[in-house]
Chains A and B, each alone.
Chain A
Amino acid sequence: MRKSATALCQLAAFLFAVTTGSIAALAADDQDHDGKSGGTADHAKFEELKKDFASGPEVTKACLSCHNKAGDQVMHSIHWKWEFQNEKTGQTLGKSHVINAFCGNVAANEPRCTSCHVGYGWTDMAAGPPKDETKVDCLACHDRTGTYTKIATAAGAVPVEPVSPTAKTITGAKAVALDLGKIARSVGLPQRENCGQCHFYGGGGDNVKHGDLSSVLFQPTKAVDVHMDKDGLNFACSKCHVSNEHQWAGSRYDVKAIDTVGTGKPGARRDVATCESCHGASPHPIDTVAGIKLNNHTGRVACQTCHIPSFARGGVATKTKWDWSTAGKLKEGAPYHEEDFTQSDGQHLHTYLSTKGDFEWGENVTPYYAWFDGQVRYTLADETIDPTKTVEINRIKGSPDDPNSRIWPFKRMEGRQAYDAKLNHLVYNHVFGPETDSAFWTNFDWDKAIKAAMEHVGVEYSGDYGFVDTHMYWPITHMVAPKEDALACAECHARDGRLASLAGFYMPGRDHFSWLDIIGYLAIAGALGGVILHGLARVMMRGRTKH
């Protein structure tokens, strides 16, 4: 999705250190409580794997010769389809359908976006993911060497000889030819490194999208994430996102916002990835008033709200604002960039790119809070919008009166993005595609870029475009801080606390009845004044009275 060379050079240098140094160490480390993988097969001993492989699909074919159901399972997962049918809202969601406040859309930009697909060669959204089982990418998730990468712009292809000298991986590092045979012989269960290669880089860069998923989580300290702490619990993602037939618990589209069932002992529950699935619904000790009170909060306040005091912690910033409307400015006919944000690790981040417009970044960001019942309704391209107002790319559903809602933390992404100024629809745009003359990143022509994308997807476009302010919400659920760092009560129970603007419910410390307070304080002042006057009168009259 991104071809911005200089920034990526710096990113690459940083990532090189991360991916070669710490990840090599990580590969030897099991990210499990006891350091054991639980596996029963040494893949180095399989005859099918004792050879060199020329491509990803060739490896997959070997995998499937034993794991004969795995291909079919993956092809039924959201990781494969990039499509999610939300039964509760009736919307068809998933990367292949939604419009977001970042790069906008996958459709028409496939080879860049589908580089993160768990498959090879998905070059057309309209045609759907490949039908061939050997196109499933087993290694993206099961590589344990820490060396497996995919080329950032080749629809999921892996770098094999000869590699173009300018080729980059998904994470922005320089692409080098893979030893697929070695990787295939050392496969194991997915670890943070595997999931993170894609999920930490959503939106085209480190921590750009989520805010709570960054490269910091490859080797986090306890302060960044108490569960993934490299010196502590060291959880792999799959400790919480348990799987069943290659389907993972936990969904951003259909969030389990409240879970009263709690722990599913013995053995983990496989249907949810909530805090309660391990910690139960009354996680605080009940030997103090504060503990009891905190447990009373659990039906109203998500664990994340208090236990993730801020996101984008640990040194990697997240993108907080993306204004596409300023994209396309050139200096002497050439695209340029500005790097006015310095991340706490010293790295400079883009604040303007001719290809993308203006950005803002944030570290240790205070979340936006909202009542959330787990459902978000997306503003899809067929929905009419009101361009005079900020358009909610996804609307958070939930209310204080609904027992299935809780107060949740969100990253609120501010955007300004293209829409159809006549039909009042959000539009798809075609940004990546070096070989076409309609790609915005090549030609800086919105009209062509939008028209091409709309035609590609098959949606009506009036030919008139404008820019509209947008908000997009990302539930915050990772980067759980140690309990000592959880929010103090007064962070919310205060006149101007974190929940100051959340309406529709009464909260002690924040809410009061202004006129009752005025009457009350006046009455106290009146009583004090009255007794003082009365006392003075007694003192003054003392000498003159008959005793």
Chain B
Amino acid sequence: MTDQNHYHDIRAQEKPPVIKKKNKAGLCPGQNHYVMIYTRYERFWHWSQAALIFALFFTGLNIHGTFSLISFKLAVTIHTFAAIALIVLWIFTTFWNFTTGQWRQYLFKEGIFKIIRFYAYGIIVGEPHPYKKGLQRKQNALQSLAYMTFMLIVGPALWSTGIIYLLYDLWRDMPYAGVILPIVAFLHTAAAFMIAIFVIVHVYMTTTGKSVLHYVKTMITGYDCVELTEAEEAYIRETQSVSIIE
């Protein structure tokens, strides 16, 4: 124990303080703290996933025959590489989610109807957001549900059909291969349309923060205003495990 405490003390002395004082008081109203809620990995994951999904969607439409902005060959090449990259990213992120415990963020939360009511009506008439962001509650109930659906249904529908599609050569001589292929293509296309709708709504929702670019900024810097419980605050100050700007 003594050794451990000693070690801890040395670390605390050697590392720069995580709690930065930048005279930014007033960044967050009330009891909120300006805290880094999205780690570097989460942001990397988010933006690289966004780029890959856009690349996949547009090359996918090109392959699908909706338009021919680039050659079929180039579209297939980009689509294939982007798909492999996205699958690798997802595998790694799944690993990350489970090792960090962040997967709990996606669990179902109560109060979803309040959130729906807020976005349907409250936001227009200027009601305050019914959901209080916290360190362990980065997402509101609607977000959790949407992302959970994305990660458990639409995403897997896309990558599983995509992989089956990609490996067509391995199963093309199976009986009913000719029937299975269009089903796979159908599910893949349908899931792609769902992603497109998800992205449209998702991008629009980024404009519903304190300012139009508030959430985008959050997703770039990682910092947002969240409520911290006394215990959380004490823990953070003790361990300096999360960056706070005061």
The complex places the Cα of A319 from the Cα of B77 at a distance, in Å, of 40
Complex contact A538–B124 (CB within 8 A): yes
- Stretch in B42-50, B88-96, B192-200, B221-229 with 4+ CB within 8 Å of A: B192-200
Interface residues of B in 96-134 (CB under 8 A from A): 123-126
Complex contact B124–A537 (CB within 8 A): yes
The complex places the Cα of A547 from the Cα of B126 at a distance, in Å, of 6
Q: A289-B76, A300-B172, A494-B65 are in contact. Are A545 and B71 (CB under 8 A)?
A: no
Complex contact A513–B189 (CB within 8 A): yes
Q: A490-B72, A524-B193 are in contact. Are A506 and B173 (CB under 8 A)?
A: no
Interface residues of A in 499-525 (CB under 8 A from B): 504-506, 508-513, 516-517, 519-520, 523-524
Find chain A residues with CB under 8 A from B172 CB: 299-300
Interface residues of B in 133-187 (CB under 8 A from A): 168-169, 172-173, 178, 181-182, 185-186
The complex places the Cα of A547 from the Cα of B124 at a distance, in Å, of 11
Q: Determine whether B190 belongs to the interface, using a CB cutoff of 8 Å to chain A.
A: yes
Complex contact A489–B71 (CB within 8 A): yes
Q: Determine whether A493 belongs to the interface, using a CB cutoff of 8 Å to chain B.
A: yes
Q: Determine whether B22 belongs to the interface, using a CB cutoff of 8 Å to chain A.
A: no
Find chain B residues with CB under 8 A from A541 CB: 124-126
Complex contact A495–B201 (CB within 8 A): no
Q: Give A256 Cβ to nearest chain B Cβ, in Å.
A: 18
A289 interface neighbour in B77, B193, B208, Cβ under 8 Å: B77
Complex contact B169–A296 (CB within 8 A): yes
What string of 1s and 0s marks CB contacts (under 8 Å) between A389-411 and chain B?
00000000000110100000000
- Stretch in A25-33, A80-88, A528-536 with 4+ CB within 8 Å of B: A528-536
Q: Determine whether B240 belongs to the interface, using a CB cutoff of 8 Å to chain A.
A: no
B68 interface neighbour in A490, A528, A537, A545, Cβ under 8 Å: A490
The complex places the Cα of A303 from the Cα of B114 at a distance, in Å, of 62
Complex contact B200–A401 (CB within 8 A): no
Q: Determine whether A288 belongs to the interface, using a CB cutoff of 8 Å to chain B.
A: yes
Complex contact B186–A488 (CB within 8 A): no
Complex contact B204–A531 (CB within 8 A): yes
Q: Give A508 Cβ to nearest chain B Cβ, in Å.
A: 6
Interface residues on B, range: 35 or more
Find chain A residues with CB under 8 A from B192 CB: 520
Find chain B residues with CB under 8 A from A490 CB: 68, 71-73
Q: Determine whether A546 belongs to the interface, using a CB cutoff of 8 Å to chain B.
A: yes
Q: Give B37 Cβ to nearest chain A Cβ, in Å.
A: 25
Complex contact B178–A512 (CB within 8 A): no
What string of 1s and 0s marks CB contacts (under 8 Å) between A167-186 and chain B?
00000000000000000000
Q: Determine whether A527 belongs to the interface, using a CB cutoff of 8 Å to chain B.
A: yes
Q: A506-B181, A527-B201, A541-B125 are in contact. Are A289 and B81 (CB under 8 A)?
A: yes
Q: Determine whether B63 belongs to the interface, using a CB cutoff of 8 Å to chain A.
A: yes
Q: A488-B72, A524-B200, A527-B200 are in contact. Are A546 and B126 (CB under 8 A)?
A: yes
Q: Determine whether A293 belongs to the interface, using a CB cutoff of 8 Å to chain B.
A: yes
Q: Determine whether B64 belongs to the interface, using a CB cutoff of 8 Å to chain A.
A: yes
Q: Determine whether B207 belongs to the interface, using a CB cutoff of 8 Å to chain A.
A: yes
The complex places the Cα of A289 from the Cα of B190 at a distance, in Å, of 25
The complex places the Cα of A403 from the Cα of B76 at a distance, in Å, of 25
The complex places the Cα of A363 from the Cα of B197 at a distance, in Å, of 49
The complex places the Cα of A497 from the Cα of B196 at a distance, in Å, of 27
Find chain A residues with CB under 8 A from B73 CB: 290, 488-490
Residue of A401, A509, A524, A530 ringed by the most chain B CB atoms within 10 A: A509
Q: Give A535 Cβ to nearest chain B Cβ, in Å.
A: 7
What string of 1s and 0s marks CB contacts (under 8 Å) between A270-301 and chain B?
00000000000000000011100100100110
Q: Give A70 Cβ to nearest chain B Cβ, in Å.
A: 44
Q: Give B63 Cβ to nearest chain A Cβ, in Å.
A: 6
Q: Determine whether B80 belongs to the interface, using a CB cutoff of 8 Å to chain A.
A: yes
B72 interface neighbour in A509, A530, A537, Cβ under 8 Å: A509
Q: A290-B77, A293-B76, A489-B73 are in contact. Are A509 and B65 (CB under 8 A)?
A: yes
Find chain B residues with CB under 8 A from A506 CB: 178, 181-182, 185
Can you name the residue of chain A whose Cβ is closest to the Cβ of B203?
A: A531
Can you name the residue of chain A whose Cβ is closest to the Cβ of B212?
A: A535
Q: Give A312 Cβ to nearest chain B Cβ, in Å.
A: 27
Find chain A residues with CB under 8 A from B123 CB: 538
Complex contact A489–B76 (CB within 8 A): yes
Q: A288-B77, A289-B77, A527-B201 are in contact. Are A401 and B178 (CB under 8 A)?
A: yes
B185 interface neighbour in A290, A400, A493, A508, Cβ under 8 Å: A508
Interface residues of B in 54-90 (CB under 8 A from A): 63-66, 68, 71-73, 76-77, 80-81
The complex places the Cα of A513 from the Cα of B178 at a distance, in Å, of 15
Find chain B residues with CB under 8 A from A493 CB: 63, 65, 72
Find chain A residues with CB under 8 A from B68 CB: 490, 494
The complex places the Cα of A517 from the Cα of B60 at a distance, in Å, of 13
Q: Give B216 Cβ to nearest chain A Cβ, in Å.
A: 15
What string of 1s and 0s marks CB contacts (under 8 Å) between A312-344 and chain B?
000000000000000000000000000000000
Find chain B residues with CB under 8 A from A520 CB: 189-190, 192-193, 196
Can you name the residue of chain B whose Cβ is closest to the Cβ of A506?
A: B182
Find chain A residues with CB under 8 A from B182 CB: 506, 511, 513
Q: A493-B72, A509-B64 are in contact. Are A535 and B204 (CB under 8 A)?
A: yes
Complex contact B63–A509 (CB within 8 A): yes
B64 interface neighbour in A489, A512, A531, A537, Cβ under 8 Å: A512
Can you name the residue of chain B whose Cβ is closest to the Cβ of A513?
A: B186
Find chain B residues with CB under 8 A from A527 CB: 196-197, 200-201
Q: Give B128 Cβ to nearest chain A Cβ, in Å.
A: 10
Complex contact B201–A531 (CB within 8 A): yes
Q: A489-B71, A489-B76, A545-B125 are in contact. Are A528 and B200 (CB under 8 A)?
A: yes
Can you name the residue of chain B whose Cβ is closest to the Cβ of A523?
A: B197
Find chain B residues with CB under 8 A from A505 CB: 178, 181
Find chain A residues with CB under 8 A from B181 CB: 505-506
30 contacts between A and B (CB under 8 A): A289-B77, A289-B80, A289-B81, A290-B77, A293-B76, A299-B169, A401-B178, A488-B72, A489-B76, A490-B71, A493-B63, A493-B72, A504-B178, A506-B185, A508-B63, A508-B64, A511-B182, A516-B193, A517-B189, A520-B189, A520-B192, A523-B193, A523-B197, A524-B193, A538-B123, A541-B124, A541-B125, A541-B126, A542-B126, A547-B126
Q: A513-B189, A538-B124 are in contact. List 13 more A-B contacts (CB 8 A).
A: A290-B76, A300-B172, A488-B73, A490-B72, A493-B65, A493-B72, A495-B65, A512-B189, A516-B186, A517-B189, A523-B193, A527-B201, A538-B123
Give residues in B with beta carbon < 8 Å to A. Answer: 63-66, 68, 71-73, 76-77, 80-81, 123-126, 168-169, 172-173, 178, 181-182, 185-186, 189-190, 192-193, 196-197, 200-201, 204, 207-208
Q: Which 3 A-B pairs have the closest CB atoms?
A: A545-B126, A520-B193, A531-B204
